[in-house]
Chains A and B, each alone.
Chain A
Amino acid sequence: MHTRRLRREVALGLGLSMILLLTSAVSGVVAGATSRVVAVLYPETDTPYRKIFADILSGIEQGLTAEVTRSYSLPEAPDVPALRRWLDQQSPAAVITLGRVPTETYEQLGLKTPQVIGALDASPQTRPNVAGVGLAVDPALLFATLKQLAPGKQRVWVVFDPTYDRWLMGLARTAATALDLKLEPLEARDLRESIQQFHHIFQAADPATDVIWLVADTGIIDSETILPAVIEKSWQRRLLVFSNSLLHVNRGVLFALYPDNIALGRRLAELASRASRTPDTPSSIEVLRAVKRALNLKIATHLDLDIHRNIERQFDLVLPVW
């Protein structure tokens, strides 16, 4: 009795095992036949950028569920032929380039493989028809945060380089209008013009209603000349300044929206996956929407802003850290 039962159970186990093996083999063959390779080129960097790129890579891997991810790091002086050989070997369906060196190196190769740019101050004006996410934060998100913290502000002053960010100003104007804000964009092509424009802003702006938006363009707002001057003058005039650089918060702007690197990686994966599936679809550099928010309470206090605890809790980083 027991023997017969045992034989039946063994036969049943073996049968189930065979079914499972066959199923997995069939699914593996199907997957191998349909999976595409997405190559990720990222720079060799030190802290703190290593952590940033690691997070982006992590996000990409999370986002690419149907594709196989292959990553390749490039030093400051990359071996281009070696990269070419590696790409030929991988035959990727799409290439995600993170940072300056990988993007420029890949562009030098002139390959037809769809490219997705990330972690770079890329602009659709200078890199048309290329998919990717730039460092420019979506103005709508910025203005929404502004309205949340200082609802009484009405006018947003911004200095921008028309060579790179005219497209961003279009988006900003739309977003401002939607939130009942008036955008005052001023053009500057270098640091000298930039400082002159900021002088103009400080003469014209009313601290009660006006704010300054610092775009992510080191060509006109560098961290060693313009930024300290703007921060100092704003502090003196009690003008609200916001930015899309986490470092700026630490140096004296009220708030900043900065990249959520894992989410950014997922977005890049999404773009890469789409580009690999439909390479001929028109694409463009888009604004950064995968962001986190940082707030400087010291500046808020200086500006006499009453920020509710509930609002404060919505920020990912609140400075100073007591």
Chain B
Amino acid sequence: MVKVRTSIQQVFEACSFQRQLTILSNMGLLCLALTIFLVSSGWLAWRLESLLLTLLGEVTGQLAHESRLVFLESPASARERAAQIATFPGVRQAALLKPDAETWVASPGAGRWPSVPLSSPEPMRAAPIHEDRDCWYFVVPVRTGTDDAVPVVTRTQPQLLGYVAVAWRKAPLAQLRGWLFVLNGVIALALALVIGVGLHYFLRRLTEPLNSLADVMRRIQHGGTRARADVAGPAETREIGRVFNALLERLDQHQAVLESEVLMRTQELRAARDLALTADRYKSAFLAAMSHEMRTPLQSIIGYTQESEKKLKFLEGDADPMILDTLAEYFGIVLHASDELLYRINQVLELAALEAGKRDVLLEWIELPPLVDEVVAVLKLLAARNRNRVDVVCEGVERVELDGDKIRQIIRNLLDNACKFTREGTVLLEVRSAADRLTIEVTDSGIGIPADQLDLIFEPFRQVDMSDTRRYGGTGLGLAITRNVCHLLGGTITVTSTLGRGSSFRVVIPLPVAPRFNAGSSAPEPRGADAR
């Protein structure tokens, strides 16, 4: 029931406003017509029956009145009279009853008559004393002695002569009632139809402006900005049209203002973008120039220092050994400082290249354990400097297809970072490879990172301690480069840390990695190669 109601409601709500109005008005009209039809037909039928019964009572009374003489005559006359009454239109049978209500004579075919209430007061004409499916039975007493009312007469005594009983057929009334119902129904339906058609026409005229308004709205929705509603129809609809048009005008004005502002802003943004691109180009050019301009003399310094250090050996035995030792120490410092400087310049260049998307992913089948050992071996010196112990765990698939330089770069940067901020602690490197991913996790027992700094450490040139008197060196580019490399490989890097207790960096690279090439890009030079 609820489902049916819901579905009807849904169907109804899916209809247009005009159709809803038409449905509702037609339903109301039908209900009204039906009610009027039922009430009028019912009332008319009841009234008709009532009038007919009164009429039949009167006619029966008249028949009885006219039959008084027959009660004084022979049974043959009475029988003839009964037969004569039975021929009266609408009479099925008639009988004359004795004063004791026994049947005296009856018309041919008359059945048993209903018993007459002898004590009932005269006249018994208003209503039938009995009725069945086919007939009403009227029984009217026949008396003499109405002259009793004359004030000069004493001899007349009221005398009951008998009763006239008439069975009136119901069929004519039923037929008349049927016709009445049909006629009423036809009239009600015809009226409902005429009014419905008129109502439909009126509702259509009433809702046409709304439909037009909806059509305009649809056109506007699909880009017809110049469309306007027709101000027509009833007062409310005209008002809606006027307001809608006014809104559209205001909207157009706002849009014009917005468009001009957007145009202005776009031009500004375009200029800013152009400026930024120019600046970026300048930056790239500057960095390229710097790399070239700085690395070239630095290479010369490193080369000549190395050569000077070699020549110094030829002076052994000729020169003061103390001076030679001092010079050797000085050459060593110069070489170390130059190496550091070259490393940092390379880092800056690497970051610039990554951000500019100028790095390729060159896939090759690599053996993970040797690769890990190689990187760890390089960083043993740094770990030993801070008296850290480095533990390595390498598990899973040993041979994977990856960019080996990028993996080295990730592990080196993370281990470098961990060894730098850990003193006399442990650094744990865990490399776990599976068919679908490679996980690299570096956990240290270092100084840790404050919670509010966790999101900042991957930004370039950012370190937790940015003060002028910071304890830890470095450019602050290692983690930024690592994150960019991870992204380049399609992976992610996350960090968890507790201040004072250490940090844990976790890199997850889904496998297999898709190769990526950038035309004109050049692979960064390995630090070791350049530095040494």
- Which residue of chain B has the shortest Cβ distance to A123 in the bound complex? B155
Interface contact tally, CB-CB below 8 A: 64
Interface check A66, CB cutoff 8 A? no
Q: Name the B residues within 8 Å of A161 (CB-CB).
A: 155
Interface check A119, CB cutoff 8 A? yes
The winner among A190, A191, A195 for most chain B CB atoms within 10 A is A191
- Which residue of chain A has the shortest Cβ distance to B156 in the bound complex? A218
Distance in angstroms between the alpha carbons of A103 and B154 in the assembled complex: 10
- Which residue of chain B has the shortest Cβ distance to A199 in the bound complex? B73
Shortest CB-to-CB span from B456 to chain A, Å, is: 127
Question: In the complex, which residues 143-160 of chain B have their Cβ closer than 8 Å to any Cβ of chain A?
Answer: 144-147, 150-157, 159
Whether B152 lies near A120 (C-beta < 8 A) is yes
Whether B144 lies near A224 (C-beta < 8 A) is yes
Q: Name the A residues within 8 Å of B153 (CB-CB).
A: 100, 120-121, 218
Which of the residues B68, B155, B157, B159 comes within 8 Å of A121, measured between beta carbons?
Answer: B155
Interface check B72, CB cutoff 8 A? yes
Q: Name the A residues within 8 Å of B146 (CB-CB).
A: 222, 224
Interface check B269, CB cutoff 8 A? no
Interface check A229, CB cutoff 8 A? yes
Shortest CB-to-CB span from A119 to chain B, Å, is: 5
A225-B155 contact, Cβ under 8 Å, with A191-B144, A218-B147: no
- Which residue of chain B has the shortest Cβ distance to A194 in the bound complex? B72
Q: Name the B residues within 8 Å of A222 (CB-CB).
A: 144-147, 156
Whether B144 lies near A104 (C-beta < 8 A) is no
Whether A195 lies near B72 (C-beta < 8 A) is yes
Q: Name the B residues within 8 Å of A100 (CB-CB).
A: 151-154
Question: In the complex, which residues 72-99 of chain B have their Cβ closer than 8 Å to any Cβ of chain A?
Answer: 72-73
Whether A49 lies near B159 (C-beta < 8 A) is no
Shortest CB-to-CB span from A12 to chain B, Å, is: 59
B223-242 interface bits toward A, Cβ cutoff 8 Å, 1 = contact, 0 = none? 00000000000000000000
Whether B72 lies near A225 (C-beta < 8 A) is yes
Interface check A101, CB cutoff 8 A? yes
The winner among B72, B73, B145, B159 for most chain A CB atoms within 10 A is B72
Distance in angstroms between the alpha carbons of A219 and B150 in the assembled complex: 13
Interface check A112, CB cutoff 8 A? no
Distance in angstroms between the alpha carbons of A223 and B279 in the assembled complex: 141
Question: In the complex, which residues 78-124 of chain A have their Cβ closer than 8 Å to any Cβ of chain B?
Answer: 99-101, 103-104, 119-122
Q: Name the A residues within 8 Å of B65 (CB-CB).
A: 224
Distance in angstroms between the alpha carbons of A49 and B149 in the assembled complex: 11
B55-82 interface bits toward A, Cβ cutoff 8 Å, 1 = contact, 0 = none? 0000000000100110011000000000
Whether B154 lies near A195 (C-beta < 8 A) is no
Shortest CB-to-CB span from A82 to chain B, Å, is: 20
Shortest CB-to-CB span from A269 to chain B, Å, is: 18
Whether B68 lies near A219 (C-beta < 8 A) is no
Q: Name the B residues within 8 Å of A27 (CB-CB).
A: none
B34-73 interface bits toward A, Cβ cutoff 8 Å, 1 = contact, 0 = none? 0000000000000000000000000000000100110011
Whether B73 lies near A195 (C-beta < 8 A) is yes
A223-B147 contact, Cβ under 8 Å, with A192-B72, A195-B72: yes
Shortest CB-to-CB span from A48 to chain B, Å, is: 11
Distance in angstroms between the alpha carbons of A120 and B152 in the assembled complex: 4
Which of the residues A104, A135, A217, A224 comes within 8 Å of B152, measured between beta carbons?
Answer: A135
Question: In the complex, which residues 193-232 of chain A have their Cβ closer than 8 Å to any Cβ of chain B?
Answer: 194-195, 217-219, 222-226, 228-229
Q: Name the B residues within 8 Å of A45 (CB-CB).
A: 151
Q: Name the A residues within 8 Å of B151 (CB-CB).
A: 43, 45, 49, 99-101, 119
B121-158 interface bits toward A, Cβ cutoff 8 Å, 1 = contact, 0 = none? 00000000000000000000000111100111111110
Interface check A164, CB cutoff 8 A? yes
Q: Name the B residues within 8 Å of A217 (CB-CB).
A: 155
Distance in angstroms between the alpha carbons of A217 and B68 in the assembled complex: 18
- Which residue of chain B has the shortest Cβ distance to A120 in the bound complex? B152
Q: Name the B residues within 8 Å of A43 (CB-CB).
A: 151
Distance in angstroms between the alpha carbons of A192 and B78 in the assembled complex: 13
B323-343 interface bits toward A, Cβ cutoff 8 Å, 1 = contact, 0 = none? 000000000000000000000
Shortest CB-to-CB span from A100 to chain B, Å, is: 5
Q: Name the A residues within 8 Å of B68 (CB-CB).
A: 224-225
Shortest CB-to-CB span from A238 to chain B, Å, is: 21
Q: Name the A residues within 8 Å of B150 (CB-CB).
A: 49, 218
Which of the residues A101, A164, A225 comes within 8 Å of B144, measured between beta carbons?
Answer: A225
Which of the residues B69, B147, B155, B156 comes within 8 Å of A195, measured between beta carbons?
Answer: B69
Q: Name the A residues within 8 Å of B72 (CB-CB).
A: 191-192, 194-195, 225-226
Q: Name the A residues within 8 Å of B73 (CB-CB).
A: 195
Distance in angstroms between the alpha carbons of A194 and B69 in the assembled complex: 11
Whether B69 lies near A219 (C-beta < 8 A) is no
A145-182 interface bits toward B, Cβ cutoff 8 Å, 1 = contact, 0 = none? 00000000000000001001000000000000000000
Whether A121 lies near B154 (C-beta < 8 A) is yes
Whether A219 lies near B155 (C-beta < 8 A) is yes
Question: In the complex, which residues 233-264 of chain B have their Cβ closer than 8 Å to any Cβ of chain A?
Answer: none
Which positions in A face B, CB cutoff 8 Å? 43, 45, 49, 99-101, 103-104, 119-122, 135, 161, 164, 190-192, 194-195, 217-219, 222-226, 228-229
**A-B interface, 9 closest residue pairs, ranked by CB to CB distance from nearest:** A219-B155, A218-B156, A218-B147, A99-B151, A195-B72, A192-B72, A43-B151, A225-B68, A119-B152
10 A-B Cβ contacts within 8 A? A45-B151, A49-B152, A119-B151, A119-B152, A135-B152, A190-B159, A191-B144, A222-B156, A225-B144, A226-B72
Known: A45-B151, A224-B147. 18 other contacts (CB 8 A): A49-B150, A104-B154, A120-B153, A121-B152, A122-B154, A135-B152, A164-B155, A194-B72, A195-B72, A195-B73, A218-B147, A218-B155, A218-B156, A219-B155, A219-B156, A222-B145, A225-B72, A228-B69
